[in-house]
Amino acid sequence: MYASRSEAHQHEKRKRKKKFRFLLTVNLTVIGLLIVIVAVWASMQDGGIFHKGNKPQNEQSAAGGNASPDQTANAEEESEASTAPSEPAATDDSGNTGGTVNNDNEGSSAGQNDPSEAPDDGDSSAVVGSGGAVGAGSGDTVSLAFVGDILLAESVGDMMKQYGDDYPYLKAKFHLSEPDLTAANLEYPVTDRGIPAEDKQFVFKGDAGALPALKDAGFDVLTLANNHTLDQGVEGLLDTISHLDSAGLAHVGAGNNDTEAFAPVLKEANGIKVAYIGVSKVVPTGDWKADKNRAGVAETYDTTRTKAAIKKAKEKADVVVVMVHWGIEKAENPEAYQRDFAREYIDSGADLVIGSHPHVLQGFEQYKGKWIAYSLGNFIFSAYPKGATADTGVLNAVCTKSGDCDLNFDPMNNNLAQPKPVEGEDAKTLLSHLSAISFGVKVRENGTIVPK
C-alpha cells in the first residue's frame, strides 16, 4: 500500500512555519521597542530609575505595580481551571479509553508467517513531498519528530466537541509543526460504520472530522499497525484508509493486502529521503493479519517479512524508520524480544526503531550507532490519564543523509486531552526516570539522549 500527503500540504506547512517565525520576530521587535520607550520615560522621572538616590520598592508599593511572573502564572492557572471540565469520579487506569486489551500474550492465536516465505512487496512506494522548512533539519540534515498513541475519540472526542478539533494540539503545536516530518501511532479506526470486534474490552471508532486539525497540527505520517485498527472490521479499516487519503495524511502498516500493508511511505525533506514502515506484534486474532487476499495489518510475530521490507526500503531511502507496536501494557521495561527484534531491524538497515503499545514511556537504547525508543507512551489517548500514562513528550531526531541521528526528548504531561510541555523539577524528574530505565544511554536535563 502507498498513500501520501499532497505537495500542497507540504507547501502549507512551510507557509505556517514562515508565518510563525515572522510573527515571532515582529512580537520580539515590538516588545524591545516598548522596553526602550519605558526605560527612556522612567529615566526622565525624578532622576530616573537608574538614579543612585532611588530606593527599591517595598512589598506594599510593589503590589500596586505589574504582577510578578508567579502571580501571572497563578492567575492563568486559576483561569484555566475555571473553564476546564471536572474529572469524573471514577475511571480506569487510562481513563475510560485506557489501555488496550491485549498484553502481547496472544501466542499462537495470532499465528506466524512462514519464515521461509518472504513475498515480494512490489514497488508500491514512491517519494512524495519536499520539505523546505528551515527548522532544525535545514541543509544537510532532516528533523523528524515522533509521538506515541493517538485516540481522537471517546473522552478525547468529547473534549474536542466542547473546545474545538484543534484543542488537543494547542500547547504542543510548535513541537509538532516545526520539524520537517512528524509521525504518530493512530490507534483507532476512522469510520461511522463497521461491525465491532468481539471479545475485546475496548472497541473504538472516531469521526473523520477530526483529521483536518490533526494534519494542520503538523502530522505527516501515521502508522495503523496496532490492535485497534480493525476494531470495526475490514469495513472500518478501509474507511480509515480512505479518510486519511482524503485528508492528505500518509499512512503505513495496514492495507488491502500484505503488499500494501508492508509497503513503506517515502518522504523527502532537505534532499534526504526518509522511509517509514509500520508493523505490529499485538494482533488480537489471526484474521487481522493482512495476506495476499485479505485486508489487514502488517504483523511482526516473525521478523522475516519486516526485515525484507526494511532491506527493500533502504535501497530507496537514506533514513529508514520502523514504527512497531509491541510489548506489555503499563510495563516501563521492554520485553527481551523487543530488544532482540530491534537489533534485527537495525541489522537489516533500520536507522530508527520507534515503539508503541505499552501506554507508558519506556527507555532508549543505541545499537551499532542507531537508536531505539521502546515506547513513547500515550500522546493524546484519554482526557483523564492517571500516573505514568500521563507522562509523554515529543522525540526529536536530527538525521544526516547517512542515517546517523541525534536524539532529544521534549517532556510533556497529558491532562484533559492536551499534552503540555513541563519544565523545572517536573521535567527533571521525568527525564531522570527515562535515563534510569534506558540501556547504556543517559537522558540529560536538557533532553539530549547520549551514550553513557
Task: Convert the chain into a string of H (helix), E (strand) and C (coil).
Answer: CCCCCCHHHHHHHHHHHHHHHHHHHHHHHHHHHHHHHHHHHHHCCCCCCCCCCCCCCCHHHHCCCCCCHHHHHHHHHHHHHHHCCCCCCCCCEEEECCCCCCCCCCHHHHCCCCCCCCCCCCCCCCEEEEECCCCCCCCCEEEEEEEEEECCCHHHHHHHHHHCCCHHHCCCHHHHHCCCEEEEEECCCECCCCCCCCCCCCCCCECHHHHHHHHHCCCCEEECCCCCCCCCHHHHHHHHHHHHHHHCCEEECEECCHHHHHCCEEEEECCEEEEEEEEECCCCCHHHECECCECEECECCCCHHHHHHHHHHHCCCCEEEEEEECCCCCCCCCCHHHHHHHHHHHHCCCCEEEEECCCCECCEEEECCEEEECCECEEECCCCCCHHHHEEEEEEEEEECCCCEEEEEEEEEEECCEEEECCHHHHHHHHHHHHHCCECEEECCCCEEEEC
Looking at the predicted structure, is the pLDDT value of residue 284 above 50? Answer: yes
- pLDDT per position as a tens digit, 37-58: 655 555 544 433 333 333 333 3
CA 18, distance to chain mean position in Å, is: 22
pLDDT of residue 16: 60
- Rounded to whole angstroms, how far apart are CA atoms 89 and 384? 11
- Rounded to whole angstroms, how far apart are CA atoms 302 and 121? 16
Assess contact for 285 and 233: CB atoms under 8 A.
Answer: no
Model confidence, pTM? 0.74
pLDDT of residue 357: 98
Least confident of 130-144, 251-265, 311-325, 388-402: 130-144
Looking at the predicted structure, is the pLDDT value of residue 304 above 60? Answer: yes
Greatest Cα-to-Cα distance within the chain, rounded to the nearest angstrom:
89
pLDDT of residue 434: 98
pLDDT of residue 246: 98
Looking at the predicted structure, is the pLDDT value of residue 90 above 80? Answer: no
Confidence of residue 93 (pLDDT cuts 50, 70, 90): very low
More confident residue, 120 or 232: 232
Assess contact for 399 and 141: CB atoms under 8 A.
Answer: yes
Looking at the predicted structure, is the pLDDT value of residue 334 above 70? Answer: yes
- Rounded to whole angstroms, how far apart are CA atoms 29 and 430? 35
Mean pLDDT, the chain, as a whole number? Answer: 81
pLDDT of residue 15: 59
pLDDT of residue 128: 43
Least Cα distance to 156 among 422, 419, 421 occurs for 419
Mean pLDDT of 228-249: 98
Dihedrals φ, ψ of 443, to 5°?
A: -110, 115
pLDDT of residue 139: 61
Looking at the predicted structure, is the pLDDT value of residue 94 above 70? Answer: no
- Rounded to whole angstroms, how far apart are CA atoms 330 and 101? 12
Looking at the predicted structure, is the pLDDT value of residue 168 above 60? Answer: yes
Mean pLDDT of 425-433: 98
Least confident of 34-48, 227-241, 409-423: 34-48
Q: Residue 122 — left, alpha, or beta (φ > 0 → left; ψ -120 to 50 → alpha)?
A: left
- Rounded to whole angstroms, how far apart are CA atoms 428 and 306? 37
- Rounded to whole angstroms, how far apart are CA atoms 88 and 82? 16
Share of the chain above pLDDT 90, in %: 69
